[in-house]
Structure 1
């Protein structure tokens, strides 16, 4: 019984930490879009349609279910750490400085590749209904859709954590930094308003995805599978054809009162 109590307490700690990161990111992005920079963001809306409270309640409810899966995976990862399988460390002197600096971008690159192929696989007709259909109920997503997953998709997203720490030795601060970057990036991609400046897609930073890039995926239900970077979509020929045109429309001028969603 004491072992089960310890597991339950550990699960609650993981849930609280994941909930804190989720609420911090989604609240910050939501406030930026709907209050702090409302007039500016309204001119940068990607779609004519706006999500309603019913959409937000659904996204939040399923995100809570996802956090339960994440907390369960956190407990499993903790057990693997106790067994010496997971290479998470706290003492920076265990590895050279260059590794402590390079491991964060490396784990982001790994996550981007994992996300692209897992995301694309979930769009296979035999998998979509069971894994990814629920997330696509958010045709016009909000930041609260960041974790709006089915149980299957939540597990597929969560399993990256122990896999990454089995493969790579990662300092605790590096891993926490990655988790914060991931959830803030996720919330921004679902904001339905374009954050990036108009020239973004015409310069060297075009290798990074934008809100429009992911929003078009929600509109079209296929293509634009990448998370941080655009290169997998371009290498694999899955970037939507008129992405840059849609981005320039969202970032460059106010959507007309009678306008349609950005062209795809």
Structure 2
């Protein structure tokens, strides 16, 4: 029995190592590219009076550690699927199944993320989420700056989804890649993506959406879409107006001051940058 367990562990570890190495490379590569772009456009900084870059070293150290959990969940999902240890087998890969299951997976993940995120904001679990919220003004380095429990709660979708959804491994990997780029851009603190597609009636969001979550704490819990926040009344009251403001900036129009800029941040977490 012990030998069988060791064989499983030895079979799993290379998958985990590969996932970790690729994600770690993407963390730094994506971050450096975005920082180079942002440095050329200081006017696009969302929170003009804060500099989250002051926390860069701490966030990078924590991210290098927490990525072990995030990639462990992804590697676990891949491993379970490859071994056939799921309740449903993955669909045979085709253009139809790939596109269809990608859409299903993204929608399922956004639901998982919203309610898991709400859970992490409760009194019982917030102690595991507080580290991430020390980044009041998030940057590209904040994306994975999580407590290990927090990382598992939010990212274990990749471990459990394959058990109940017929997601091909390739689709799961593409979903995770999209989640990486979406999360890094969403934490970047610079708005380049404001458009009518990122405000009502569209369910899509832009960088301002998650930036407001860090700045105001009790709004905008979802990841890819604003649907759950709008339905549950947790959308930031000035989100759509802020999107319009950055739209005007992108068009070179006169831009009014940020609405709600002086609203106090409703959290007991020590203020950070």
Question: Structure 2-normalised TM-score?
Answer: 0.80
- Give 1:23's aligned residue: 28
1:99 aligned to which of 94, 97, 104: 97
Distance 1:236 1:24, change over 3 A: same
1:252 maps to 2:259: no
Cα drift, residue 246 of structure 1: 2.4
Distance 1:255 1:107, change over 3 A: same
Q: Deviations over 1:98-152 (max 9, x none)?
A: 32321111100000000000011111122112x2100101111001111111011
- Give 1:47's aligned residue: 47
- Distance in 2 (alpha carbons) for counterparts of 1:46 and 1:263: 14
Work out whether residues 199 and 243 of structure 2, in 8 Å CA contact, stay in contact via their aligned partners in 1.
no
> Counterparts in 2 of 1:82-93, with a 5 A limit?
83-86=83-86
- Give 2:162's aligned residue: 165
- Distance in 2 (alpha carbons) for counterparts of 1:84 and 1:166: 9
Work out whether residues 199 and 205 of structure 2, in 8 Å CA contact, stay in contact via their aligned partners in 1.
no
Cα drift, residue 54 of structure 1: 3.5
- Distance in 2 (alpha carbons) for counterparts of 1:98 and 1:6: 31
- Give 2:176's aligned residue: 179
Work out whether residues 48 and 255 of structure 1, in 8 Å CA contact, stay in contact via their aligned partners in 2.
no
Q: Which structure's relative contact order is higher, taking Cα pairs within 8 Å and 6+ residues apart?
A: 1
- Distance in 1 (alpha carbons) for counterparts of 2:94 and 2:61: 43
- Give 1:239's aligned residue: 235
- Distance in 2 (alpha carbons) for counterparts of 1:232 and 1:225: 8
Q: Would you say how many aligned residue pairs link Structure 1 and Structure 2?
A: 253
Distance 1:250 1:197, change over 3 A: closer
- Distance in 2 (alpha carbons) for counterparts of 1:83 and 1:5: 14
Cα drift, residue 11 of structure 1: 3.5
Distance 1:84 1:95, change over 3 A: same
- Give 2:109's aligned residue: 111
Work out whether residues 123 and 132 of structure 1, in 8 Å CA contact, stay in contact via their aligned partners in 2.
yes
Cα drift, residue 248 of structure 1: 2.7
RMSD: 2.9
Work out whether residues 136 and 218 of structure 1, in 8 Å CA contact, stay in contact via their aligned partners in 2.
yes
Work out whether residues 140 and 192 of structure 1, in 8 Å CA contact, stay in contact via their aligned partners in 2.
yes
- Give 2:121's aligned residue: 123
- Give 1:73's aligned residue: 73
Work out whether residues 88 and 172 of structure 1, in 8 Å CA contact, stay in contact via their aligned partners in 2.
no
Segments of structure 1 that go 5 or more residues without pairing to the other structure are none
SS at match of 1:14: helix
Distance 1:179 1:259, change over 3 A: closer
- Distance in 1 (alpha carbons) for counterparts of 2:38 and 2:63: 20
Cα drift, residue 47 of structure 1: 0.9
Distance 1:134 1:82, change over 3 A: same
Q: Which has more helix, going by share of residues?
A: 1
Question: Structure 1-normalised TM-score?
Answer: 0.83
1:224 maps to 2:220: yes
